[in-house]
Structure 1
Amino acid sequence: MSRVRVLVTGSADGLGRAAADALLSAGHDVVVHARNEQRAAALDALTARGAHLVLGDFEDRDAVRHLAAGLNDAEPLDAVIHNAGVWSGPAVMPVNVIAPYLLTALLPAPRRLVYLSSGSHFSGRPSLADVDWQGRRPGSYADSKLYVTALAAAVARLRPGVLSNAVDPGWVPTRMGGPNAPDDLELGHRTQEWLVTGDAPEARTTGGYWYHRRRQQPHPAVHDEEFQDRLLRALAEETGVTLA
């Protein structure tokens, strides 16, 4: 594997922290992300080992734009793992969908993109009616994961020079998943790392939905180009930013 520069969003704990730690240990150039200075304290051990730190509250669109501008002014990124996410509450759509959309649209350099999906996306509704993108009321986690999985597939279709994939890490024992989650935490972050750094032919594919390094069939709406286009139009209208 060649050395790559990778941004891991939401890397203060859980799967993001585990992925950032493993990538750093493998000799890659890692950019870690936390919501604020208080959360960033959890990343001191990684920054002491050479990780670069960026801050930005993904509930705040202006903060996401500012973060993207700073990253564009720095050394170019080779890859992004869109790991940041919330399980419930008003922040579901802003954090799980709007933030990765904006970063994808505003960061043109990365050639490998991984979006954290979930098995819950199978319960998502392929409808964009009355979606509260602003986060004024609690959002549907299942819907948000269907949208971001479709976003990954749309990017794969529209950016042929980019390897864009979605990963279901499984229900793992993180702060979000809870201590009794049945899946393997170690396996929960390895697929993301493999997709952004691996040289194997399987790791250099695009448009996939992966679970533990096995490509699987996602919700039918994910590869429905009409649904993808409707989603992209809705996100462009909502944010004022078009995905090139």
Structure 2
Amino acid sequence: MSRILITGSSDGLGLMAGRLLAGDGHRVTLHARNSERARDALEALPEAEAVVVGDLGAIAGMRSVARQANELGRYDAVIHNAGVGYREPRIETVDGLSQVFAVNVLAPYLLTALITPPDRLVYLSSGMHRDGHPDLSDPQWVGRRWNGAQAYSDSKLFDVVLAFAVARAWPEVLSNAVEPGWVPTKMGGPGAPDDLTLGAVTQAWLATSDEPEATVTGGYFYHQRPREVHPAARSLKVQDDLLALCAELTGTSLPSL
């Protein structure tokens, strides 16, 4: 059985993925933003092996989560599920970044760079990534009027870019992105039309399955099937530019394996 870390798993799709994986006998580490949410997560999934705690809206919190994860031992898979949605106003983090960019993009980058590389990485994206812009000239929205839907779409495009960049840089690690669908979670809203029960299946499948369809890298999946992505996600220049920006913001480069 595998050891799996799931970020943003005190509720929603992350917790659902944890339940699926624990139900199949895997050892699951959850992640919560603070100690209160960590207690809630353990109450919701008492089978969890551990909970790491840290605010992924702050670079210090990202580093703390990575440190806690490494202290618990190497994982077979990490699911980068944590995210904030498109209904929020522009919130500036303690590091002077847009919260949407910090949580949705910078956190999975820095955790990937700092956590002992697993065998598999899964990054949560969205169908809205197809409306994203790959322009990195103003990723923090300081020179533009805030547009939450566009900022979210951009961030979800960058999640796919990150997954593909890691697949290219670390060919021995299976790195893929997932579109869970528009499901009725706290982020998706009660009117979301997709099947919530299927929302977490694909990330759990990519994290553990030995099926040939799941043991691939540099893929983008919706309900366990490959799906086309924004063309910019496969641009080597866009990939390199995103890695360079994240390395500059965090002072940490993606290591070579």
Confirm or deny a common fold (TM above 0.5): yes
Partner AA of 1:119 in structure 2: G
- Structure 2 distance, partners of 1:215, 1:236, is 29
One-letter amino acid of the counterpart of residue 158, structure 1? A
Match of 2:240 among 222, 229, 232: 229
CA RMSD of aligned residues (A): 1.5
Letter in 2 for 1:123: D
- Which of 64, 70, 73 is the equivalent residue of 1:72? 70
What does 1:47-126 correspond to in 2, within 5 Å?
A: 48-87=46-85, 88-89=88-89, 90=91, 91-126=99-134
8 Å CA contact 1:15–1:188 kept in 2: the answer is: yes
Q: Distance in 2 between matches of 1:151 and 1:227?
A: 10
CA distance in 2, matches of 1:225, 1:115: 18
Q: Percent identity between the aligned chains?
A: 53
TM-score norm. by structure 2 comes to 0.90
SS at match of 1:203: coil
The Cα offsets for residues 101-129 of structure 1, whole Å up to 9 and x where unpaired, read as: 00000013311000000011001001001
Equivalent AA in structure 2 for residue 35 of structure 1: R
* Gap regions ≥5 residues in structure 1: none
Match of 1:105, SS?
helix
- Unaligned runs of at least 5 residues, structure 2: 92-98
The reply on whether 1:131 has 2:131 as its aligned counterpart is no
> 1:9 corresponds to which residue?
7
Residues 133, 238 of structure 1: 8 Å contact kept: no
Of 163, 166, 179, 1:168 maps to 179
Corresponding letter in the other structure for 1:18: M
Give the match for residue 193 of structure 1: 204
Give me the whole-angstrom Cα distance separating, in 1, the residues matched to 2:220 and 2:63. 27
- Residue 81 of structure 1: SS of its match in structure 2? strand
TM (norm. structure 1) is 0.94
